Amino acid sequence: MKHITVSLNKGFTLIEILVVIAIIAIIVGLMLPNFNQLRIQSRDQSRKSGVKALVEALELYKLNQSPPTYPTTSASFSIDVTPGQPWTVDSVTYMNQVPKDPLYDSFSTNYFYRYVQVSNLEYFVGICLEDSSDSEGQSSPNINFTDCPSNSWYYKNEP
């Protein structure tokens, strides 16, 4: 009579499991830098949209003034306006919510919107971008803003 032996080893060996884990780690390692770059580009796009919204609000403000002028930096719309709060002057709301940088931190000096009135009919509004290779990024304007790690600014002057 022959004895039939049945093998009960129906699992993966330790080597096979380690090989699969190593392959997964390599794939994740290759994808991670691309994912981080996409996140940076997304935040920069949000910043650009914020600048455009601020430009629209500034134009509304100018249209309400007689004679037409932009707000002074000592007025209620300066770089000290709290992001996420409304911008209201003399009970007129020009923005329901001032744009907030995706990396905004009340202690950070790098990522917040800047506004400077250059003259009654000229202003600068902009923000530091994270991606120094952004095609719309420009070098620092001559307005004493030097705290941009990437030295890539997205800004608008009076249109």
In tens, the pLDDT along 71-108 reads 887 654 444 467 888 888 888 888 888 888 888 776 66
Q: Which of 78-82, 136-140, 142-146 has the highest mean predicted lDDT (pLDDT)?
A: 136-140
Top pLDDT among 25 and 114 is at 25
pLDDT for 33 equals 76
In a domain, 3, yes or no: no
Percentage of the chain beyond pLDDT 90 is 20
In a domain, 5, yes or no: no
In a domain, 133, yes or no: yes
In a domain, 2, yes or no: no
Top pLDDT among 22 and 108 is at 22
pLDDT for 150 equals 82
What span, in angstroms and rounded, lies between the C-alpha atoms of 77 and 123? 12
In a domain, 115, yes or no: yes
Q: Which of 2-16, 60-74, 99-113 has the highest mean predicted lDDT (pLDDT)?
A: 60-74
Q: Model-level pTM?
A: 0.72
For residue 115, give its domain range: 14-157
CB-neighbour burial class of residue 130 (10 A; exposed 0-12, middle 13-18, buried 19+): buried
- Is the pLDDT reported for residue 143 higher than 70? no
In a domain, 123, yes or no: yes
In a domain, 7, yes or no: no
pLDDT for 9 equals 66
Q: Domain count for the chain, please give it.
A: 1
In a domain, 87, yes or no: yes
CB 116 within 8 A of CB 123: yes
Query: Which sign, positive or negative, has the C-alpha torsion 135, 38, 130, 28?
Result: negative
